[in-house]
């Protein structure tokens, strides 16, 4: 079976919601043992209640990726019993605002999760991957990593850093058998999007959903499952010749707008 992850162990941060949840389920369906690092206890419990864990080889770990000590402890516990083959750095938070209305606290909060979280998790798994001379790190960047998006100052800053961290890790550890790539989604329809629209445009939810959908030239938002399928390919052995590369999944947003 192509794109099989049988006998592989994968870690997915922020894996109980949205894109992370879709990645966790897809990887499990393809045979991987998946360890989810999730800060939100409620989301983790909801996932646990909705999934039949006997069918899906998924284990939950409550962990704040912004705190290095927590990350190191969880990774150490996982690596006691298995090799770590895949890390998906999916955990992240969003922010809407330009430089004038972005506070210092906003900037620090996004840095802690979107940049330091990626650093903490990658740093924690690399020794294990070096030892086994193989491993895949997949980071979740954004179209905002490489093109201007209005009112996304702090978010773009952090996702630009994710992109360049991807290049750096890929370059530094290519001879250790470690591949590192990133995915750059445009608007993906997740519960976060629905919540954002409901909070900011009460009574105009459908109108705003259609408006935001049309900002992608293809005419709709992407789905979490579509992102998960791309993640599956990039983490599979079929992608063994790919490293140091950004993969937009954007409905034509980067190249076809304007």
Residue by residue, pLDDT tens for the chain (258 residues) are 899 999 999 999 999 999 999 999 999 999 999 999 999 766 666 666 666 554 568 999 999 999 999 999 999 999 998 999 999 999 999 999 999 999 999 999 999 999 999 999 999 999 999 999 999 999 999 999 999 999 999 999 999 999 999 999 999 999 999 999 999 999 999 988 998 899 889 999 999 999 999 989 999 999 999 999 999 999 999 999 999 999 999 999 999 986
> 111, 119, 155, 201: which one is catalytic?
155
Per-residue model confidence (pLDDT) at position 200:
84
Domain count, the chain: 1
45 assigned to some structural domain: yes
| d(C-alpha 64, C-alpha 87), whole Å | 16
| d(C-alpha 111, C-alpha 197), whole Å | 24
169 assigned to some structural domain: yes
Q: What is the CATH number of the domain that holds 247?
A: 3.40.50.720
The two tokens of residue 181 are 């790539």
Per-residue model confidence (pLDDT) at position 1:
86
Q: Give the list of residues 6+ apart from residue 150 with CB closer than 8 angstroms, or none.
A: 98
Would residue 167 show up in a list of annotated catalytic residues for this protein? no
2 assigned to some structural domain: no
64 assigned to some structural domain: yes
Q: Could you write out the DSSP letters of every residue in the chain?
A: -TT--TT-EEEEETTTSHHHHHHHHHHHHTT-EEEEEES-HHHHHHHHHHS-TTTS-EEEEE--TT-HHHHHHHHHHHHTTS---EEEE-------B-STT--HHHHHHHIIIIIHHHHHHHHHHHHHHHHHT-EEEEEE--GGGTS--TTBHHHHHHHHHHHHHHHHHHHHTGGGTEEEEEEEE--EE-HHHHHHHHHHSTT-HHHHHHHHHTTSTTSS-EEHHHHHHHHHHHHSGGGTT--S-EEEESTTHHHH--
147 assigned to some structural domain: yes
Range of the domain at 146: 9-188+224-256
3-state secondary structure of 69: helix
214 assigned to some structural domain: no
Which region holds residue 251: left if phi is over 0, alpha if psi is between -120 and 50, else beta? Answer: left
63 assigned to some structural domain: yes
219 assigned to some structural domain: no
Per-residue model confidence (pLDDT) at position 44:
64
| d(C-alpha 85, C-alpha 83), whole Å | 6
């Amino acid at each position: 079976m192509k794109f099989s992850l049988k006998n592989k162990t994968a870690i997915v941060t922020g894996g109980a919601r949205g894109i992370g949840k879709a990645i966790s389920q897809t990887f499990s369906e393809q045979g991987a043992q998946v360890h989810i690092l999730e800060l939100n206890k409620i989301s983790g419990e909801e996932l646990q209640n909705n999934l039949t864990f006997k069918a899906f080889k998924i284990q939950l770990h409550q962990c704040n990726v912004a705190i290095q000590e927590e990350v190191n402890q969880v990774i150490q516990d996982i690596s006691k019993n298995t090799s770590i083959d895949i890390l998906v750095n999916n955990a992240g938070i969003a922010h809407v605002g330009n430089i004038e209305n972005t506070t210092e606290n906003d900037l620090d909060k996004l840095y802690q999760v979107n940049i330091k979280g990626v650093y903490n998790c990658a740093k924690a798994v690399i020794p294990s991957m070096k030892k086994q001379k193989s491993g895949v790190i997949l980071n979740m960047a954004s179209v905002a990593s490489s093109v201007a998006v209005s009112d996304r100052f702090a978010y773009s800053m952090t996702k630009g850093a994710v992109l360049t961290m991807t290049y750096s890790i890929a370059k530094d550890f290519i001879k250790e058998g470690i591949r590192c790539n990133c995915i750059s989604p445009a608007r993906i329809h997740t519960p976060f999007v629905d919540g954002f629209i409901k909070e900011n445009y009460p009574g105009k939810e459908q109108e705003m959903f259609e408006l935001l959908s049309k900002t992608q030239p293809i005419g709709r938002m992407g789905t979490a499952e579509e992102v998960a399928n791309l993640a599956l390919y990039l983490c599979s052995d079929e992608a063994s010749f790919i490293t140091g590369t950004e993969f937009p999944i954007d409905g034509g947003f980067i190249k076809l707008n304007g």
